[in-house]
Structure 1
Amino acid sequence: MFRYGQTFGRAAEESITQYIKLQAERKAREEVKRSRSLPRIKEKRTDSQVIQDFYNKYGLDGRSNPNYPPLPGYTGYIPKMKPTDLGIGRTFSAAARRGLAQVSIERETREVLNAGLHVALPSTRPTTTPS
């Protein structure tokens, strides 16, 4: 395309800009044609398989082992651990094991005590039958 009435620099700049624009449009049209002509890719795994594989790899229901710290170097809350009792001078995993063992022992004793409360006791009040 010829350009008249401009300096060489301006005419060349417009020509180059127009050429780049036309090339981009042509490539876009070719990409659309090519994508329509190719067959669709089939999935190797469904979403449910991906999720199941994730749970299988990282533990039951995505939970990690409670004996290990959630973050390396974690020194935060551990159930039933007091600074002077179970956890002093221990690693996180040792303190967590002892703290969780203490929790499970207390749960078992609570269950035993609560089971004894629900045993049917004989009534101490005399019952009268309506006449």
Structure 2
Amino acid sequence: MTTVQYGGGPTIEQRRAFVNLRPGSHIPGYAGFNPQLKFNSGKTYGEQTAELSKSFPHKRMVDIGAALDARKGGASAACQQAGVAEAQGLRLPKSTGDNKYIDGMLPGYTGYVPTLINRFGGTYRNLCDESVDEFVRNYEHREDKATDLKRASTAFPQLASLRGDPAVRDHLNFWADRKPRADGKRQNLEPPIPGYQGYVPRVYTTQAGLGCRYHEMTRNGLEMFNSETKSGSARVATARPACGREPVALDGNRVYQQEGMKPAYTGYVPRRRFNFGHTYGETTRNLPVCQHSYPTYGNYVRSLTAN
């Protein structure tokens, strides 16, 4: 351990004098970025960085001695930076403890800075100052526009409500009385407009659409489908079941009907998995859950236990 760790040791001026560094040069061993350093050779690290600091004054290293003299004179680095920002016309808010974008953004901040991603070729401090200035100006511009709009809207007189106006009421009643009303469900015979990409039955599976416009093609397909649906419903209503039973009226309380289940029914049917060799409809008609004539299957089971 050295005396420096206990607060003693040489001062900064003594250390700089011992290393013998020129103003603007970095201490040998500094691993940060130095502009154009990799394109120069033949000189020591301190001499080369001192010459580069003259070529790039906006990237000049901090002179510790000058900073100490300025601090002793009462001028801080923050005040100098604020003076530079005011000279450039930048609007940089002061830090209040709650605001995030302020003047003097420290390098190493990994958060989001507005419009910083679109800026290149400068130091982090300068680019952040320009980004924060643009953000503040845009925010103030939007606030001014919102204030102007609010002021303009309040300047005009408030519109009166027309809800109780007799003329408006009579006009609405006139329109409602003459509006066409559909009696029941409308049949699906109206052809769609050209450009409709949905499904139209009996158009592409038949010859109804050959040599016709889209309007005529869809109208022919819908009329063909409607006639086939009506004829099929009439045949189902007049046909008798193959087993000879009388058709039973549908009961809203029964899930498994006496005439059997439709082949497309994918629900559970008791004891269906133990029957083979018949069609789906014939199998479900022969099952006890469908074969009984009681309103519910529970009533059927209670009648068996009562007997």
Q: Rg bigger for which structure?
A: 2
Q: Which structure has the highest helix share of the two? A: 1
What is the TM-score with the length of structure 2 in the denominator?
0.21
Q: Which structure carries more relative contact order (alpha carbon 8 Å, separation 6+)? A: 1
What is the TM-score with the length of structure 1 in the denominator?
0.41
